[in-house]
Amino acid sequence: MALSNLKNRVTDRLARVIDYRIGERVDPLDERVVEQEHCTVDHRRRLDALEAGLEHVRGDLRWIRSELDRMMPHVAAQDARLETLREQLSVAPTADAPEIAESRSLVQEIQRQHAQIRVRLAGLARYEDRLRRLEERASVGAAE
């Protein structure tokens, strides 16, 4: 019985020492796990914010891409037109100063006449629009 009693006391004492040492190691590990959980939550929050920002950037990129796709044919047409003008200028014969001055005055006269025509056409368009509105009013008044 004394041997059994001694065995139980030694076992209890050994268990307390082991529990104490494990307890010393577990407490810092528990703190570390809690700290890692906080870091993980923070990282998830930041990742969610970055993903939302990335979606915004993707939307902007899609809009820019569609604008580029829309504008590219216009730019290509302008490039082709510039190349045609360049070819025409390289083929054009050289002229002396009086011919250049006369050509410029002709171009200016043509531009002036074009401006007058545009003004007249704008006036006609306004007049036709006014007639259309008056006809609409007259037809509404006659229908009543």
pLDDT of residue 92: 60
pLDDT at 45: 93
Q: Which two tokens mark 59?
A: 């939307």
Domain count, the chain: 1
Q: Does 6 fall in a domain?
A: no
Burial call 31-64: b when 16+ CB within 10 Å, e when fewer: eeeeeeeeeeeeeeeeeeeeeeeeeeeeeeeeee
Residue 132: inside a domain: yes
- Element at 110 (helix H, strand E): helix 97-143
List of the chain residues with pLDDT < 70? 20-28, 92-95, 141-144
Residue 1 lies in a domain: no
pLDDT for the residue numbered 142: 61
* pLDDT at residue number 113: 92
State residue 46's pLDDT score. Answer: 93
Structural domain harbouring 115: 101-144
Sign of CA dihedral 17, 18, 21, 26: negative
Helix-then-strand count for the chain, H and E: 2, 0
Q: Is residue 136 part of a domain?
A: yes
Q: What gap in Å lies between CA 140 and CA 138, rounded to an integer?
A: 5
Residue 32 included in any domain: no
User: Coil, strand, or helix at residue 95?
Assistant: coil
pLDDT for position 40: 93
Prediction pTM value: 0.36
Note the pLDDT of residue 43: 93
Assigned domain for 134 exists: yes
